[in-house]
Structure 1
Amino acid sequence: MADEEIEVEGKKKSPLIKIIVIVLVALLLLIGTAVGTMFVTGFFDKKDTLAAEQAMKAMEESAADPKAGASDTTPQKKAKESPELERFEKSYMELEKPLVSNLTGTRKVIQLNAAIMTHYDERVFKNAKKHEFALRSVTLDVMRQVTEADMAKPEFRKELAHKIREEMNALLQKHEDFGGIEEVYFTSFVVQ
């Protein structure tokens, strides 16, 4: 009978030991995963202090002379090879989705796809992509102010493109300190 009690007590202890071992293995796996992730992401790599010092020095210089840093942040026009005249390369980008708005005072709808053109480098398009939702919003604001009388004018599409360009440049100027959109073109234009 004493042997039976010892066996029963031994069986009761073994599940507790199994649970402890499982918890320890799980902890070791979690710690190993965390350390491995830190190793792969470069947490243990030696930091490049020289590059950081140069960046700090450049920031201090631009803070001391605001005009010195302005040339780095303002996009530059891309020159186009031409023997007679100085010409600039034109780059285009189309806004992804069509823009749809009601005409003021009617049940008619105006739908258009817009593309922008610039002579400046790709930073204008990066800014336009970054703020595409805001650019779409200001374009829709201009479109919703259009009336049927406006559409009867011969220069209506040019005037609309000019207004949209001004609003887009004002928005980019506000958020990125540089507009850069030189023309707005309509790749499709429908009124129903």
Structure 2
Amino acid sequence: MSDAPKQKKKGGGMKLIIILLVGLVLGGAGAAGGLYAAGAFSPKDEGPKEDPNKPVLVLKGEDAEAIATAHAAPEGEHGVSGGHAPGKGIDLPAPQNPTAYQATYFQMQAPFTSNMADSDAFAQISIAISTYYDMRVVEALKTHEMAIRSQVLMMLAQQPQEALATPQGKQDLQKKIRIVINDVLKQKTGYGGVDNVYFTNFVIQ
């Protein structure tokens, strides 16, 4: 007789434990379902998506302008062609086999004129750029020409006259201008894309 109440008490305790466990399982399943619906769990094979607005390489025989038009973003989106992420940006790599791609050339309209860093002389240069990417790079150059000119002129004013008088100095200046232009494009549009810079006129007086 004395054992009956104890048995009844034990059974009630087991029911309470089972109810708690069921509640935890259902609560966990509900939370997991909520997270899945919110996109917290994504397939492992789904990596970062390629930005559709990034300029693409132009194979020989292709039309750089047609490719840019085909990839153009809807009106009103950010960037030169829309969708670019302004800021630090990324470099667009030069092609491994340049002979397979079409180079596009663009002449900057006005010359760059600046005093030299160590003399009363001044340099006046005209430049053209080349790119293996579609016309969105050229359109970016046109859109952000004022920012590009400002940065190139500031860099040019820091160059000593003696250095620019040598072929090596001129080659070094070409590389510096290319870096400056790509940096401006990356800041403004998210991407660079200028492959090379050419002097179409170079005068030091």
TM-score (norm 1): 0.61
Match status 1:142 vs 2:122: no
Q: Deviations over 1:143-181 (max 9, x none)?
A: 101112312443111100100100110111111010100
Amino acid at match of 2:156: M
Inter-partner Cα distance in structure 1 for 2:162 and 2:201: 21
Deviation at 1:105, TM superposition (A): 2.1
Letter of the structure 2 residue corresponding to residue 80 of structure 1: K
- In the superposition, relative to structure 1, how do residues 148 and 127 fare at CA in structure 2: closer, same or farther (>3 Å)? same
Cα 1:181–1:111 shift into 2, 3 Å: same
User: Quick one: which of 125, 128, 144 aligns to 1:115?
Assistant: 128
2:89 matched residue in structure 1: none
- Structure 1 runs not aligned, ≥5 long: 1-63
Aligned to 1:188: 201
The residue number in structure 2 matching 1:68 is 49
Counterpart of 1:91, as a letter, is T
> Paired residue for 1:100?
113
1:66–1:180 Cα change, 3 Å: farther
Distance 2:144 2:161 in 1: 30
What is the aligned-residue identity percentage?
A: 31
* Separation of aligned partners in 2, 1:115 and 1:66: 38
Pairing 1:161–2:168 present: no
Q: 2 CA distance for matches of 1:117 and 1:143?
A: 20
1:152 to 1:97, Cα distance in 2 relative to 1, 3 A: closer
**Aligned Cα root-mean-square deviation (Å):** 2.0
Once superposed, which parts of structure 1, at least 4 consecutive aligned residues long, lie more than 4 Å away?
none
Q: CA-to-partner distance for each residue in 1:105-145, whole Å, 9 max, x for gaps?
A: 21101001111100000000011100000111111112101
AA of the residue aligned to 1:78: V
Matched residue of 1:179: which SS?
A: coil
The total of aligned residue pairs comes to 125
Which residue of 2 is the match for residue 125 of structure 1? 138
Specify which structure has the bigger relative contact order, considering alpha-carbon pairs within 8 angstroms and separated by 6 or more residues. 2
- AA matched with 1:151: L
Instruction: Give the corresponding residue for 1:87.
Output: 100
Distance 1:127 1:67 in 2: 25
Instruction: Structure 2: give runs of 5+ residues left out of the alignment.
Output: 1-41, 62-96
Distance 1:177 1:191, change over 3 A: same
More helix by share: 1
Q: Secondary structure in 2 aligned to 1:120?
A: coil
Q: 1:66 to 1:164 in 2, by over 3 A?
A: farther
Find the residue that maps to 1:80 and give its secondary structure.
coil
Residue matched to 2:58: 78
